[in-house]
Amino acid sequence: MRRSASLQSLLFYGLSGPIVALNVWLLSVLFGYFQHPITILSFAAILAFLLNYPVKLFEQARISRTQAVIIVLLFTLTLFGILGVTLVPMVIDQTIQLLNKIPNWLTSSQANLVQLEAFAQQRRLPIDLRVLSNQINASIQNFVQHLASGAVGVAGTLLSGLLNFVLVVVLAFYMLLYGDRVWYGLINLLPSKFRIPFAKSLHLNFQNFFLSQILLGLFMVVVLTPIFLILKVPFALLFAILIGISELIPFIGAALGIGTVTLLVLLQNWWLAVQVALAAIFMQQIKDNLLAPRLLGNFIGLNPIWIFVAILMGYEIAGLLGTLVAVPIAGTIKGTFDAIKGSKQGDFMSTVTIPHDPENSSL
Q: Is the confidence at residue 21, as pLDDT, over 60?
A: yes
Within a 10 A sphere around the Cβ of 99, how many other Cβ atoms? 14
Per the CB < 8 A criterion, the answer to whether 51 and 73 are in contact is yes
Residue 4: per-residue pLDDT:
62
**Could you tell me which residue, 116 or 191, shows the higher pLDDT?**
191
The answer to whether residue 278 scores a pLDDT higher than 70 is yes
Q: List, as one string, the DSSP characters of 216-268.
A: HHHHHHHHHHHHHHHTT-TTHHHHHHHHHHHTTSTTTHHHHHHHHHHHHHHTT
| Segment among 13-17, 158-162, 178-182 with least mean pLDDT | 13-17
Residue 204 pLDDT > 70, yes or no? yes
User: Of all helices (H) and strands (E), which one includes residue 110?
Assistant: helix 65-122
Give the model's confidence band at 196: pLDDT under 50 very low, under 70 low, under 90 confident, else very high: confident
Torsions phi, psi of 37, nearest 5? -65, -35
- Give the tens place of pLDDT for each residue, 60-78: 888 888 899 999 989 999 9
Percent of the chain with pLDDT strictly greater than 90? 12
Q: Which residues contact 247 (CB under 8 A, 6 or more apart)?
A: 213, 216, 217, 220, 253, 254, 257, 287
| 198 burial level (CB within 10 Å; 0-12, 13-18, 19+) | buried
Q: How confident is the model at residue 312 (pLDDT cuts 50, 70, 90)?
A: confident
Domain boundaries defined on the chain: 30-189
Quote the CA–CA distance of 332 and 99 in Å, as a whole number. Answer: 40
> For residue 240, what pLDDT band results from cuts at 50, 70 and 90?
very high
Least confident of 18-22, 132-136, 185-189, 273-277: 132-136
Burial track 26-51 (b if 16+ CB lie within 10 A, e otherwise): ebeeebeeeeeeebbebbbbbbbbbb
The alpha carbon torsion through 77, 83, 84, 86 (nearest 10 deg) reads: 140
pLDDT band at 22 (very low <50, low <70, confident <90, very high): confident
Task: Tell me which DSSP letter residue 355 carries.
Answer: -
More confident call, 196 vs 353: 196
Question: What whole-number distance in Å separates Cα of residue 218 and Cα of residue 188?
Answer: 37
Residues 91-105 pLDDT 10s: 888 888 887 887 777
72: left (phi over 0), alpha (psi -120 to 50) or beta: alpha
pLDDT for residue 180: 74
Question: Cβ neighbours of residue 251 under 8 Å, at least 6 residues apart?
Answer: 304, 307, 308, 311, 327
* Average confidence (pLDDT) over 295-313: 68
Lowest mean pLDDT among 133-137, 149-153, 301-305, 347-351: 347-351
- Give the model's pLDDT for residue 355: 38
194: nearest Cα among 334, 328, 340: 340
Of 44, 51, 56, 58, the closest CA to residue 73 belongs to 51
Averaged pLDDT, 83-89: 86
